[in-house]
């Protein structure tokens, strides 16, 4: 199904427990919320940056502004052909303490700066 330009066609919430979140055709939004994001490492399938799929971490981050380095808050780590998204909710404040939030399955070669520029992550 093709929606209007720029429309978010599917909204998928991480929520409690270990979830497997499947993107579809068109633009999907994967949303992680502070109350549940750190309980499990949810698995994201069919992520397509060129369809402007996005991962919304804005509820998790404390004190992030666009003038700060995104790398102090969000890291992407490749392992086993997947990309793990880790978040340090308060950046350098309180030391460096990343916690894994989600795994983008079967996807590598992602670039955090491009992600930010292209709004594939929402922070
Ligand atoms: Ca979950
Ligand atoms: Ca999609
Ligand atoms: Ca910190």
Measured in angstroms, how far is the CA atom of residue 9 from the centroid of ligand 2? Answer: 8
Measured in angstroms, how far is the CA atom of residue 73 from the centroid of ligand 3? Answer: 8
Say how far apart CA 122 and CA 90 lie, in whole Å.
16
Measured in angstroms, how far is the CA atom of residue 40 from the centroid of ligand 1? Answer: 6
pLDDT at residue number 1: 46
Given a cut of 50, the residues of the chain with pLDDT beneath it are 1
Q: In which residue are the tokens 């909204």 written?
A: 11
Task: Give the CA diameter of the chain.
Answer: 45
pLDDT at residue number 9: 82
| pTM score | 0.91
Say how far apart CA 88 and CA 26 lie, in whole Å.
30
Q: Nearest CA to 104 among 22, 10, 18?
A: 22
Measured in angstroms, how far is the CA atom of residue 93 from the centroid of ligand 3? Answer: 5
């Amino acid at each position: 199904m093709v929606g209007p330009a720029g429309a978010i066609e599917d909204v998928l919430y991480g929520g409690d427990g270990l979830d497997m979140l499947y993107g579809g055709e068109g633009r999907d939004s994967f949303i992680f919320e502070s109350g549940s994001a750190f309980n499990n490492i949810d698995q994201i399938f069919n992520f397509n940056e060129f369809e402007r799929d996005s991962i919304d971490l804005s509820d998790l981050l404390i004190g992030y502004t666009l003038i700060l380095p995104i790398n102090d808050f969000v890291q992407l780590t490749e392992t086993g052909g997947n990309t793990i998204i880790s978040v340090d909710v308060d950046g350098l404040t309180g030391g460096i303490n990343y916690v894994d939030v989600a795994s983008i399955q079967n996807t590598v070669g992602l670039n955090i700066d491009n992600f930010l520029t292209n709004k594939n992550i929402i922070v």
